[in-house]
Amino acid sequence: MSDVEMSEAGKAKIIDGNAIAKQVRQSISESIAQLKSTNPTFHAPHLVIFQLGSSPASSTYIRMKLKAAEESGMTVEHIQIQSDAESGATSGTGVKKVLEAVQKANQDEKVSGILVQLPLEGAGKTEEKAVVDSVDVSKDVDGFHPENIGLLSSRIGEPHFVPCTPAGAIKLIESTGFDLKGSNVVVLGRSDIVGTPVCALLRKKDATVTQCHSRTKNLEQIVSTADVLVAAIGQAEFVKGDWIKPGAIVIDVGTNYIPDSTKKSGQRLVGDVHFESAAKVASYITPVPGGVGPMTVAMLMNNTFQAAKKAYESRRAKQLTPLPLEIKEKVPSDIEIAVAQTPKPVALIAEEIGVHPDEVESYGRYKAKIELSVLDRLKERLDGKYIVVAGITPTPLGEGKSTTTIGLAQALGAHLQKTAIACVRQPSQGPTFGVKGGAAGGGYSQVIPMTEFNLHLTGDIHAVTAANNLLAAAIDARMFHEATQSDKGLFNRLCPAKKGVRTFSKPMLARLHKQGVNKTDPNELTEEEAAKFARLDIDPATLTWNRVLDTNDRYLRQITVGQAPTEKGLERKTAFDIAVASECMAVLALSKDLADMRARLGRMVIASSKAGEPITAEDIGCAGAMAVLMKDAIKPTIMQTLEGTPVFVHAGPFANIAHGNSSIIADRIALKLAGIEQGDDESRNGYVITEAGFGADIGMEKFCNIKTRVSGLSPNAVVLVATIRALKMHGGGPAVTPGKPLDVVYTQENLELLEKGCANLGKHIENAKKFGLKVVVAINQFTNDTPAEMELVQKFALNAGADYAVPANHWAKGGEGAVELAKAVIDACSEPSTFKFLYDLNQPLKAKIEIIAKEMYGADGISLSPEAEEEVARYEKQGYGGLPICMAKTALSLSDDPSKKGVPTGFTLPIRNVRLSAGASFVYPLVGDMSTMPGLTTRPGFYDIDLNPDTGDIEGLF
């Protein structure tokens, strides 16, 4: 017989659990150090141990685990919660607190493993099970979760984690060199913690397992057949030596205390096996203590290490599951395509890009808000690649920037397996019900559900409308009250005594500070200070704040307010703007966080006083209330494309008087989610595709000179969208008018006209290069475009300085039609950004305006009206001269005249007025007549939009 079959000289070899456990801990420590050296962002595993009550036995076990974690190179946190008996709380309070703490740890990315120390003092078995079951299965390092137990018993499944004591027992058996395959193993015990799981593990090792318990008949005879005995029956020295087969391996899991007068405590620890008699028969045996106990703790450390590795790999994994597209040769209408696709639940989309469940605020099944806390969680992550999509000077029909943005995101995410997030603006209801239609993209490159995207979404525009109109109402009310009250009466009403005490509100203190008054008690103000504080003295001629409405309504372009008898004849002329033209919307888009938005709302200048001082929303007193109305609007909305890739929809500032880009917050969150960790291979990097409104001379220029200045983000490349249709128009083709059929020159090949019009594309390429950007021209293919026309534009673009020029057919083919475009974008982003600004902010306002006019539009110079000259002087005097410029100009021409196509020359750019958006932090010159309230045509789009009364479906939405 071998040593395994018979003990040598009648003495079993001791299986030293302490020594083996030490080796395991040392191996874990070395593995952690190795991982950290090759992966700088891999942090040491972090174990959290929860204890209810203060049981001495539990506390002893926890101290062992704390020491083992330290030796293994891990961090550990012991959270002890008072039992109901200790705190005097009602029954179940302690268990509830443990459950709450476990849920918090489940959601904490820094926590690798969670251990609930059993028993929970004062808790019943049902309550204990509820707590154990509440541990996230991916952090259940004890291996007690029902899913882990179930998978352990499965022949084809593997548990996330194996229970520690059974795993330790197997490790001890294997340390002897014994081959378990085909061997007879007897397991004494049927607990869920040891007996049953150890049987499952042994079966997976191809052992023949007999599971017994204290009531098993012929137990002694069964034990005597075992090559390996695992005793976990919970009875002191239950198994005698004469039961054991000579040469068997004995693994004693028992921990029992028996009286022993020789010990100071009066008791000693023994196992389930009578050690002295068994050691004379067995070949190997585990002592108690010093056998299975240390191994249980060591395997807990191993499970925690494995949990940390799995979590790290999971965070780095590309998990997107694309939605298949059913492409039809004859492309159906946008809404038909959109409703034919079944979206993924928005929670799944968020999970796929690494957003935690507690960072998602669902608005139904297919749209949700993303909490800004994700930015803090991912602050150490490097940003992904940043691409802005712009376009040539468009026709009134648009050239497909939104469609290209979505198609490119689909190509990168669904076809090239990159993390790709599109960031787009929320569309206004003005164009949706007017002429242009929705802005969800088109064909097989859309945001879905497109009906929700185009209608209300998560209510951000309504929040902006409410905040804007609250300020408008406050302005008129303040002007009325100042006109009808004395200084003293006004002050007393602004600071009334409440229970005999007068106080200043927060915005009042801000106004006092602005005036250099540091007093906080209204009673301490001098008569002069009180009068200056109370009376804003707004100059009505300088008032720029209008009410807004998210509907095209030409009859609100000029209105008279104050006609009711109660307003005492204080009438004035004013107007409504469309909601997305509100400075509140621009503030939303340019805010970096909630505090920044609150500060920007307060800084918005609504007029000047008669003394020439700027009057702000903070002076009016309602900036805080406006921030409350917009507190949820600051969170980006997450949706998806037709192919199931993520889209962030956020903010919708007007693209002429504002900067026409989606929000900084959406871009920042997207860049972190798409980014990589320090030390990661560059090939893992993801892409954020953000869209800039109108032509590149407007949207891209403002993106570069305004948005990136505020955000501090540097774009890697620009995608310039060009169409054959628009280029033919710039070559001299007839006007393209919404609602009218296209002229034949746009539906048939015409290379001569096209070649002339390419000059417009060339100018936009030149402009993009001035910002140091890589330029990728996307030739958005329409149905009537011919191969010769596409080739002509491609060659021209490359000769004009574009880095890439790629035909794209994403409208008809989805992401597949933009794969070559996506590859060009990846290549363009392979080198570090060389981005630079067009002008220095320290230059005078007029100089900055002139630089844009000359460099971007090709003007010979600028001409300011007398009013504009006065406004520039006033803003510089008030301290706003260092702001960037946001040109309000037609999008239909590089010049101020929309009828001038191609690349106009020999013109001077007229500046009619100059307006200030102090909250958004830019000055916007008005070039010609710019309408901020569109009108409805004779035949608006709402004629086609209806609700199916039988199904509730929306019909006719473009």
- d(CA 142, CA 117) in angstroms, rounded, equals 10
Task: Report in angstroms the alpha-carbon separations of 901 from 7, 389, 749, 896.
Answer: 99, 22, 20, 11
Measured between alpha carbons, how far is residue 79 from residues 56, 117, 242 in Å?
A: 15, 10, 46
Query: What DSSP letter does each residue of 670-701 carry, written as one string?
Result: HHHHH---TT--GGG--EEEEEB-SSTTTHHH
Terminal CA-CA length for the chain:
86
For residue 119, is the peptide bond before it cis, meaning its omega torsion is within 30 degrees of 0? yes
**Is 65 a residue of the active site?**
yes
Separation between Cα atoms, residue 687 and residue 422, nearest integer Å: 8
Q: Where are the alpha helices (DSSP H) in 39-83?
A: 56-71
Contact present, 12 and 283 (Cβ < 8 Å):
yes
Beta partners for residue 646, in sequence order: 640
Contacts of residue 180, Cβ cutoff 8 Å, sequence gap at least 6: 173, 174, 202, 205, 206, 207, 228
Residue 410 CA to residue 444 CA, distance in Å, equals: 10
User: Active site residue: 22, 65, 129, 573, which one?
Assistant: 65
Residue with tokens 């037609």: 890
Nearest alpha carbon to residue 855 among 655, 697, 693: 697
Please name the residue ranges forming H helices in 801-902: 810-813, 819-828, 845-852, 866-877
Distance, CA of 702 to CA of 838 (rounded, Å): 10
Residue 787 to residues 394, 407, 807, Cα–Cα distance (Å): 22, 21, 10
Vertex 399: Cα angle to 395 and 405 (nearest 5): 150
Which neighbouring-strand residues pair with 549?
Answer: 578
- Cβ atoms of 558 and 573 within 8 Å: the answer is yes
Q: Are 927 and 911 in contact (CB under 8 A)?
A: yes
Instruction: Give the C-alpha separation, 909 to 925, whole Å.
Output: 11
Say if residues 193 and 144 touch (Cβ distance below 8 Å).
yes
The catalytic residues are 65
